[in-house]
């Protein structure tokens, strides 16, 4: 419909829906901008951060789930963690047997993936399961091994073989006993596809915090020394932060 305006001529009557629709569109656009800004993935989640070792020994103060650590920079793998402060996790590395940190002179040793590489990788992170190693053995791993009774293994360890239909196929489980309790090592089997296999241990560090470390299977014979060394290594950073 139209009406006649003697001054300006015919004028179209405006629809009553235009204003609400405009408000809706603007509100939706602002909401989208808000969500994109505040909920966007961080750069580290969009693509994994690349290792960025340094020979700098400046001490970085950081924490994981409330556990304070004071770590020299040359032990920290990723540059972002050297900003310090609260971290979701902290990835570290060192060279066996004495757990010394990165230096430019030993860059090749730290980058080696040879079967006898002396690099040990450590990760301090929030404990997602809250299980001891003994509990993890009973509640999780024994459900996936071929023979739950195990068999005598090398180096004073009990050996279990994971079934090929399990999520741990291609790995063996080694269980040792220490003064502090059970020690579990999941070790990838040597194969043509994996010529340089590693062993992984996950152990309790503090309330709500786990320490895991990984080293080449070639050094499994030294599991006790490596375990004791990792314990002294990480607790030294805890003590320094006090």
pLDDT tens, position by position, 183-240: 999 999 999 999 999 999 999 999 999 999 999 999 999 999 999 999 999 999 999 9
Question: What distance in Å separates the CA atoms of residue 172 and residue 188, rounded to the nearest whole number?
Answer: 6
Could you state, in order of their start, the residue ranges of all structural domains in the chain?
2-39, 48-240
What kind and span of H or E run contains 23? helix 18-39
- The 10s digit of each residue's pLDDT in 135-166 is 999 999 999 999 999 999 999 999 999 999 99
What are the Cα distances from residue 113, in Å, to 173, 194, 201, 231, 236? Answer: 22, 11, 18, 24, 27
DSSP state of 65: T
What is the number of other CB atoms lying within 10 angstroms of the CB of residue 139? 11
DSSP state, residue 123: E
- What is d(CA 35, CA 15) in angstroms, rounded to the nearest whole number? 32
Phi, psi of 132 (to 5 degrees): -75, 170
> SS3 for 137?
helix
DSSP secondary structure string, 173-219? EEEEEETTEEEEEEEEPP-SS-SS-EEEEEEEEETTEEEEEEEEGGG
Instruction: Give Cα separations from 44 to 28, 36, 79 (angstroms).
Output: 28, 16, 11
pTM of this structure: 0.80
Per-residue pLDDT reduced to its tens digit, 165-182 = 999 999 999 999 999 999
């Amino acid at each position: 419909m139209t009406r006649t305006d003697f001054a300006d001529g015919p004028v179209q009557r405006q629809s009553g829906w235009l204003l609400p629709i405009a408000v809706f569109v603007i509100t939706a656009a602002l909401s989208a901008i808000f969500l994109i800004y505040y909920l966007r993935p961080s750069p580290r989640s969009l693509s994994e951060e690349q290792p960025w070792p340094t020979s700098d020994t400046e001490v970085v103060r950081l924490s994981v789930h409330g556990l304070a650590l004071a770590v020299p920079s040359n032990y920290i793998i990723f540059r972002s963690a050297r900003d310090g402060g609260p971290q979701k996790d902290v990835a570290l590395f060192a060279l066996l047997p004495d757990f010394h940190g990165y230096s430019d002179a030993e860059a090749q040793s730290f980058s080696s993936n040879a079967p006898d590489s002396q690099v040990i990788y450590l990760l301090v992170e929030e404990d997602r399961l809250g299980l001891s190693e003994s509990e993890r053995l009973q509640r999780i791993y024994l459900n996936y091994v071929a023979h739950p009774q195990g068999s005598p293994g090398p180096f004073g360890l009990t050996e279990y073989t994971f079934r090929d239909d399990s999520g741990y196929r291609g790995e063996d489980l080694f269980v040792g006993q220490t003064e502090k309790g059970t020690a579990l090592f999941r070790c990838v089997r040597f194969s043509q596809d994996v010529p340089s296999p590693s062993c992984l241990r996950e152990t309790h560090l503090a309330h709500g915090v786990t320490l895991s470390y990984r080293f080449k299977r070639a050094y499994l014979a030294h599991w006790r020394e490596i375990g004791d060394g990792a314990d002294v290594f990480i607790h030294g950073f805890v003590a320094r932060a006090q």
